[in-house]
Amino acid sequence: MKIKTILGHLYVQVLIGVALGILVGALWPDLGANLKPLGDAFVKLVRFMIAPIVFGTIVSGITSMSDVKRVGPTLLRSLGLFYALTALALALGLAAVLLLHPGTGMHVDPAHLDASVTAKYSTEASHNSLADFLLGLIPTTFVGAFADGAILPVLLIATLCGFAFAKLGSAGKVALDVITSFNRVLFVVFGYLMKVAPIGAFGAMAFTVGKYGAHSIGNLGMLILAFYAACVVFVLVGLGTVAKITGFSLLQVLKYFRDEILIVLATSSSEPVLPRLLSKLEKLGCDRGVVGLVVPTGYSFNLTGTAVYLTLASMFIAQACDIHLGWSQILLMIGMMLLTSKGAAGVTGSGFVALVATLTVMPDVPVAGVALIVGIDRFMSEARALTSTICNIVCCIAVARWQGALDTQTLRAELSSGFVPSPAERRALAAAVPTH
């Protein structure tokens, strides 16, 4: 009976899927590489739920605030914290590459690099200018924002609708009730989808190990080590400091969200866990309105894992190609990365596109240099998504506390329990139905 109870936990099931995926990828590489559709299917299955859930959550979040004027300060504090942590992440990536020098001694001639490797990413990156980014906030049509699945246009529509419903009051209650009820339905559907998370984790890990294997890492292992070290320092020191100032334990938070952390680690994407984060942060005592504003916004503006990757990868390419960058060039590049690291959803490959976007407008480092790391990028995407996810969790709790919208007694009680729900509570969480 005890074994059955343990196996009933989602994080245990995901761990089993990850272990089996590694085993299959190592023993039967060809089979593992062919299992990629399992991981892709799971992420795709969840992604089509994200836009409507974000819309409903933000609308209900804004309308649930007793004072709609709190929305502005909440967003401003969130964005201020996001940019401060992004700057810290960029600095840690830079420090890691300057200390470990992973690219020194490679002596790569940029003229011999295959620029065609980055062609498809350059096409995407060419649309990452500031003007294109701002225009990208505006959807072509109201429904088109949901059809495209882009988070930023949905954020804009949801915010406008949230303020509109708040102004209408009782006159818009019927429509608001429909949105709220539909959002509950989406959470229930999402609960069903999460039951196949172990299968998605199995396929994703089998593909990674089977396709790339340890032999493909070669001399680039130091780059991967430097990146993971920088991410760990950022989480433990940077986010640990924010947690301590706010008054909660980072380690307890990591334990509380262990299911979501393992899913992100296995799928290299933060999107599959977004609905569960929204539900569990409310359960922790964070105000519904703050959760609905901070977390979805963070998914586009708080990609700190990508920020660590950008400075580290850019400087690695410069070191490998024997290109010396002065501090004025480095600071200019970091300033550009504060823009290119924003606006992309936390999905696999978005960090690589952001890197190409940065190098495209920085003539000092050859954009073709990304061909050096394209083979190992998959090994770093897990840490990118995981770091950004943990950062969004910590930021939401911190902003809620600063806004006076956090039930500290509930927070302490939930974190102390380590989230070990009863069977009935497990079924309720599986459906992820908000208690409001």
pLDDT tens digit at each of 436 positions of the chain: 466 666 666 667 777 887 888 888 888 888 888 887 887 787 777 777 777 877 877 777 677 665 556 777 887 888 889 889 999 999 999 999 889 888 777 776 766 555 554 554 455 555 555 566 667 678 778 887 777 766 678 778 887 888 788 778 777 788 888 887 887 787 778 777 778 878 887 887 787 677 766 554 555 678 888 999 999 999 999 999 999 999 999 999 999 999 889 888 877 778 788 888 988 999 999 988 888 888 888 887 788 888 898 899 888 888 888 888 888 888 888 887 876 666 554 445 566 667 776 776 666 787 777 767 765 666 788 888 899 999 999 999 999 999 888 998 999 998 887 655 544 445 544 544 444 3
Torsion on CA atoms 157, 273, 289, 256, rounded to nearest 10: -170
The two tokens of residue 386 are 């995981």
The answer to whether residues 226 and 95 touch, using CB atoms and an 8 Å cutoff, is: no
Q: What is the DSSP string of 101-126?
A: -TTTT----GGGS-GGGGHHHHHHHT
At 67 the pLDDT is 57
Looking up tokens 């924010």 gives 242
Phi, psi dihedrals of residue 286, rounded to the nearest 5°:
-75, 140
In a domain, 141, yes or no: yes
The two tokens of residue 248 are 């909660």
Of 256, 210, 212, nearest to 380 by C-alpha is: 212
Of 352, 391, 416, nearest to 89 by C-alpha is: 391
At 401 the pLDDT is 92
In a domain, 25, yes or no: yes
In a domain, 436, yes or no: no
CATH of the domain at 411: 1.10.3860.10
Please state the domain count of the chain: 1
In a domain, 374, yes or no: yes
At 132 the pLDDT is 65
Give the number of other CB atoms < 10 A from CB of residue 417: 12
Domain hosting 73: range is: 2-431
At 363 the pLDDT is 67
The answer to whether residues 370 and 116 touch, using CB atoms and an 8 Å cutoff, is: no
At 222 the pLDDT is 83
At 73 the pLDDT is 81
Exposure on the CB side of residue 198, measured as CA atoms within 13 A: 14
The answer to whether residues 431 and 191 touch, using CB atoms and an 8 Å cutoff, is: yes
